[in-house]
Structure 1
Amino acid sequence: MFYAGHQDAAIDRVRRGIAIAIKQDTTFWEVTGIVWLHIIQPFESASEEGLAHFAEAIKTYEMMGAHIGLPYFRAHYALAQAEHGDIAAAYESALRAVRENQQDGLHNWYPEVLRLHALVCDIEGGAAGAARFRQEAAAIATKQGAALWLLRTRIDQLSAGEIDAGLLADAVGQLHHRAAPPEKQAALALLSRL
């Protein structure tokens, strides 16, 4: 729902899921809901308490050995750290997320993890590194046929002056003609200004 642009409905569903998980005493699903809530609604991490809550959920995932989504969750946590001004810690978290994805070999959400790491690199001032991570994200998204991750990456690349508009237009064209995620609307708006 979230990736299709139905943010409010997604937030409601996640909150209901967390409440049910607490009632049923199912920690895995409670923690899963918490991390998704922080991803869907980044202002959940805006306070120090919120950021600590996100960190605790990440630690719980680590302790449970639930590593399949951990790099993706950690990359989003890195952005939250950056929002709090802890750029060095954010960079380390984002880099750790990339390394975890590389080591596990599953590459779930890998292009998006690379793209998020590139955003942290941008915040840190590492434009060359950011461009390299975006290029890798685009290559892997293309190989995986991950149209949404490719579109997100192409938007970032065009905004950073790393590609021409044709590559972004090609990425938009890979989506089903009826698909209307927010990224498609953002890309079309960006293309219309060029």
Structure 2
Amino acid sequence: MITVENSFLADKSAQEVYRVFSNVEAIARAFPTVIRVEVIDEDHVNLGLLVKLGLLPLDNNVTLAVTERTNPKRLVAEGVALPGKGLASVARIADKEALTKLSLILELEELGADKCRVYYKILADAHGNLKRVYDAVIKGQRAKMESEFIKNVSQILGAPIVEEKGAAKAST
């Protein structure tokens, strides 16, 4: 299981941040690797992701469904990722290894009228060569992708965001 987690402080109330994160299209566009967003309804979205590992384009097709909404404290989305042709060829994937189960968890903590802590955790259940490719991407590009994500969320919220020192973790 691959786990990525982090937290940051936002100069907005938990309710305002929840409103943004509960909009599947708006928050999907905050992820720097997203190249395609197809909203099915307010709880379902299909995404195309593209990450480069060196010169190699690694593509993924992701289907997510919001499975829990606890306003304004918690959102959970679950889904699956299927590798596109580029990722499949790099990872030399057998069919049984191809599906990656995903869980995305967001928790908000109110810290005052206009401040909250945003904690997120991403779990990816990948196996074999696909897991090794994901591990390499996380090791090489995590800091850059998280920085871009936080910048994008800040723009969507229209408020400053500060990453909490020592909060970022990744494990496999």
TM normalised by structure 1 equals 0.27
Structure with more strand by fraction: 2
Structure with more helix by fraction: 1
TM normalised by structure 2 equals 0.29
Compare CA radii of gyration and give the structure with the larger one: 1
